[in-house]
Amino acid sequence: MKRHRGMIRTLNIFWIIYMFSQMVVAQTVENDTIIPNSAIRSATYLRPIEIEPHPFILPIAKTSVRGSYPVELSYSKTTHIIFPSKIQDFDAGSNVVIATVPEKLLNVLRVKSDAKGFPGETNMTVFTEDGGLFSFLIRYNDNPEVFNINISNNIAADDFATQSLGIGQSSNSSPNTYLMEEGSYLEESLKASSLEVLLRKDFIRQLGARKSDLNVLLRGVFLDGNNVLYLKLDMKNKSLMPYQIDFIKVFIRDKNHIRRMAAQENEISVLMDYPMSVTHLNGLQSLEKVIAIPYCTLADGKTMEIEIYEKAGGRHLKFQFGNDTLLKVKRL
């Protein structure tokens, strides 16, 4: 009986200790309530997650933002957008936008919707050969009010709008930066180096092409501090028929290949042909041109080819040269 009363006394003591511990858990200490761990674990999932600002995230300044043009597209009607230079690349945010570049009008984009009445908005971006970046915000409209847009005629409006909004200048009005895989090139630097090349003495002879009394000769190869190659060309029109340059291309091609087999070729981006505004060569006239391309050398079995295309004509000129010519390069 005594043993039984002792066990009851012991259980009572444990019960008192347990109850006291529960009271301690719930007590208030300096105005802070101590909450049991189980309650904390349950409450954790109910609290909003707060993410502290990262100290190394840079803000995007308004002046670094390029504006976008609003364009409405239709499923049954085509919109034409004319750019100040040849189109280099195109990207659309959705496959509902389809675009093509006419074979003979390389600065014109034909664009329309591939889905009738697509909801919401999408976008598209166009990169041009002169380094321009043009952004468009696209919405659907069965009957757009505007079908033909000439970006070059929008310069004044772009300048006014960008100044009012306090954002970056448009691609037309700001100094162009050429964005390419090989690097970035400032237009003013390319112009200055090209002008210097025109003033340099010729040192290459008898390398070029001739067609229908039209001659082109390579007169020099120069390299500037930005690793840009400048090819100095001398063009002569010995006929009375005027000649207008459509565009100039530079390729790296296989030196020897069978015509029936596909030749491997790599087009080199022409950063600038200078002077840019001079494309006409009248009868019995001469013209000096400078072609700026990223620095490169030729692997064995490869050759560099320059092609000059006549606008609305067939007097296309092309000629090739190898590493022996490139190695004659002179420093600017």
Domains of the chain, residue spans? 62-173, 183-331
The closest of 304, 310, 307 to 324, measured between CA atoms, is 304
Question: Please, are residues 313 and 239 in contact by the beta-carbon 8 Å criterion?
Answer: no
pLDDT value, residue 8: 52
The H or E element spanning position 136 is strand 133-140
- Residue 27 token pair: 């007590």
Question: Which CATH class for the 183-331 domain?
Answer: mainly beta
Residues of the chain above pLDDT 70, percent:
76
pLDDT at 31: 41
Q: What is the pLDDT of residues 142-172, one digit of tens each?
A: 999 999 999 888 877 887 888 888 887 654 4
Q: What is the pTM of this model?
A: 0.49
Give pLDDT tens digits for 38-84: 433 333 334 555 556 677 777 777 777 888 999 999 999 999 999 88
pLDDT at 28: 39
The answer to whether 82 and 151 are in contact (CB under 8 A) is: yes
Average pLDDT on 164-183 reads 58
Position 212 scores a pLDDT of: 85
pLDDT bracket for residue 185 (50, 70, 90): low
Tell the CATH topology of 62-173.
Answer: Immunoglobulin-like (2.60.40)
pLDDT given for residue 64 in this prediction: 77
E strand residue ranges, 174-264: 177-180, 183-186, 208-211, 214-223, 228-237, 243-254
d(CA 105, CA 86): 8
Higher pLDDT, 57 or 200: 200
**What region does 193 belong to: left with phi over 0, alpha with psi -120 to 50, or beta?**
alpha
pLDDT at 140: 96
Element (H, E) at 255: none
* 183-331 matches 62-173 in CATH topology: yes
